[in-house]
A and B are shown apart, each in its own frame.
Chain A
Amino acid sequence: MSKLTWLFDRATPRFGQISVWLLLSFALVLALTPIEFDAGPRSEHPATVFSWLPVDLIRNPIFFTCVRVVLMASVVLWATRIWIPVSCWLTVISFTLMWSLRMENLTNGAHIFNVTNMLLIIHAMWFHFYRREIKGSIVRGTFWEQKSYPRWVFWLSVFYLGWFHSLAGFTKLSCCGPGWGNGTSLQLWVNLFGWKASPFAQLILFDSRLTAVLQTGALVIECLSILAVLHWSARYLVGLGLFGFYVGVLGTFVTFGFHFNAILVALFLLPTDRLLGLQFEQCGLLEPSNESLGP
């Protein structure tokens, strides 16, 4: 365990609190998203972790509205650090349920809230494990000065962002191999779904050889994203590559809703941590144990 003490280095909670507020603002967007129900038979395969719920409940608009209200209330409570960690876990559960209900009732859906969902879990873990320190610092009025933000929260967030994007690369490789980035497929997607007037779309549609380079570059960046967990320099490099990729994606596939992921990439993988003054300090071995002292 002594090799992992760096995970317990701590910083003041400014970066963490800003991250939480950002995630909660995304949760509010979800809470305000209109309810949609597609007609058709239910899939035999579970679509979400809430597929076990009775179908009548899943397709019930009143239940949908109740979850929406709970989500909004818990978001407000967590944002104001009231009733923690209960409000944190309530937000996580209602957020997961809200998007699950959407996926359960539609035939098509994008992967725009997986990252937000997982990062909410990580930050709920933070508030859960550090609830005494956080509550104490709120009472004393020293919340912003108290070093209550452990490095593992930041590291896990980077891990998930890296893994999510690497998975996207690995899935493409397993489906089509390295030839996935042939340029033509991207031209077809842009032609069908893209905003063709955008300069990015014009560039992609101009020449498939250039598009193949861009597409293969995106595949390489995606596959290597998990390396962001290793070192800050790798994180910034991956962040730069992914953010550049997102700028192109957002400028082309305007209505797909990828901006949530793009903002989180910018927050955790670009040097935003330095801009916001995130600096971890060693907390060292706080309690001597036989394990650390040896026989």
Chain B
Amino acid sequence: MDLPQTSEASLTPVSSTPQRRSNQQRRIELLAVAAFVLVNLLAPVLCGELYPFTVSPMFSDQPSAYCTYEILASDGKSLELEPFGLHLVYDGNPPGLGMGIVPRSTLHEFGEVCDERIVLDRVRQTMQDAAIVGPLTVKRTHVEGGANQLKTTTQEWTVTGAESL
């Protein structure tokens, strides 16, 4: 292999010839490579989800069903779900993991089918607290695994707000 033999030659090498690298330089590079590998192998165990390190947790759960909610005012207008605590905090990642802001509490956990009574009590409570005039229509679509395809059922309740909690 054509290698520059003198320090002068190393300053003006043939165009494609790699310059001389000392063993010390190589050791430093190797150390950096080893450190990169080691840190990335250990970080998931030691730090968990800490950007830029990650345990790649997306879609690591195994849901067997999920629900979607819709709340309609008496004029048919769709209302925001967050004030009623029925919003979904899930995008495939475990909620809150590796995120700086804690999501607002919700009854609507992905993969869970919340008890009907708890949902309706929460809606009534919000109506009272926020002085929302009823009646409101609460629609819940429940999707679950069927024989080989998904099975969807829809439930609908009317909440006047006048019922006792």
Which residues of A pack against B, CB within 8 Å? Answer: 1, 4, 7-8, 10, 12, 38-43, 46-49, 51, 58, 96, 99-100, 103-111, 113-114, 117-118, 121-122, 125, 129, 132-133, 136-137, 140, 142, 145-148, 150, 152, 156, 159-160, 163-165, 167-168, 171-172, 175-176, 179-180, 182, 184-185, 187-189, 191-193, 205-209, 256, 282-284, 286-287, 289, 291
A-B contact count (CB 8 A): 221
**Segment 39-86 of B: residues with Cβ below 8 Å from A:** 40-41, 44, 49-66, 68
A7-B33, A100-B51, A185-B61 known; A145 vs B16 contact (CB < 8 Å): yes
Roughly how many angstroms separate A106 CA and B93 CA in the complex, as a whole number?
Answer: 13
Contact assessment for B100 and A105 in the assembled complex, using a CB-CB cutoff below 8 Å: yes
Chain B residues with a Cβ under 8 A of chain A? 1, 3, 11, 15-23, 25-30, 32-33, 36-37, 40-41, 44, 49-66, 68, 89-93, 95-96, 98-104, 143, 145, 148-150
Alpha-carbon separation in the docked complex, A233 to B125 (Å): 62
- The answer to whether B60 and A208 have CB atoms under 8 Å apart is no
Given contact pairs A107-B89, A187-B145, enumerate 18 new A-B contacts (beta carbons under 8 Å). Answer: A7-B30, A49-B51, A99-B52, A106-B100, A108-B99, A113-B52, A114-B52, A129-B29, A136-B19, A147-B16, A156-B33, A184-B145, A185-B59, A188-B66, A208-B148, A282-B1, A283-B18, A286-B3
Note all chain A residues with C-beta closer than 8 A to B11.
136
A interface, by DSSP: helix, strand, loop or mixed? helix
A39 to B62, CA, bound (A): 29
Secondary structure class of chain B's binding surface, majority of residues: loop
CB <8 Å contact, B3 and A205: no
Instruction: State A156–B38 Cα separation when bound (angstroms).
Output: 12
